[in-house]
Structure 1
Amino acid sequence: FDYLTLTRNCFFIGRALDYYVCLEGALKLKEISYIQAEGFAGGELKHGTIALIEEGTPVVALATQEDVNWNIRGNVKEVLARGANPCIISMKGLNTEDDRFVLPKVHELLTPLISVVPLQLLAYYAALHRDCDVDKPRNLAKSVTVE
């Protein structure tokens, strides 16, 4: 996923609990690497979001929920057809051969706790490769000081 060092945009897609993890992953990526990143619900992909996909656009897809696994994989096929460069993070037992990372199987309600970790590492290494100071992101404070 080295091409994150050269990109200006990255999209995260997920369904059910994975959608919320995608929002967090996108936030971390933009906070420390300064890559414009957004998290989207896979079910909303065709309602405008897909228009943003261009050749080589990085798309991180989470597939950790059994009941929507094939739906998110359908979304990946849609972005692939438009030239995206997908990275699928899945859960053991739901994985296919094209998945980039396979997480250990845990209870479905616990998946956000482990699926957020690779997204944080993705942001961390993207920032390092872009020579960003991960300990002192620009314009961010460790706590909210104004209301």
Structure 2
Amino acid sequence: MDDKFKIPQLLLRYALGITFLTPVSDRLGLLGAAGTGNIEWGNWQNFIDYTTTLMPVFDRPIVNILGGIATIAELFIGIFLIIGFKTKWSARAASLLTLTFIVFMTLSVGIQKPVNYGVFTASAASLLLSFIPNYKWSLDNLLAEK
């Protein structure tokens, strides 16, 4: 039987992986300084300042820890999706993480920000990816063959 998901799952994995890695690169200052080009934060401090507005119920030290956890999660999710490692679980984690972003963003700054940033799309696309039966051209597929 022909697998019609070969190319779509690959493109979806890459798109979502890049979607997770780009903001990590931004908040670590790898894409440039704040205020230049399309740079949202440009450094960790600006990222934590913004994250504090999204989580007003938490003290800044807690927000710093939660921001670090989210950044590490995004880094691993992005890499795992691109290489296709533990893809089903990475996609589920991506969907849950973005759903968490949706809730905090909506409660603190309104529904328009998560819509503008495509967080709903990323969450739904991640969930959809987790239901694809086979991840051709992935590390998962390569390891399953051995």
TM-score of the aligned structures, taking structure 1 as reference length: 0.29
TM-score (norm 2): 0.30
As a proportion of its length, which structure holds more strand? 1
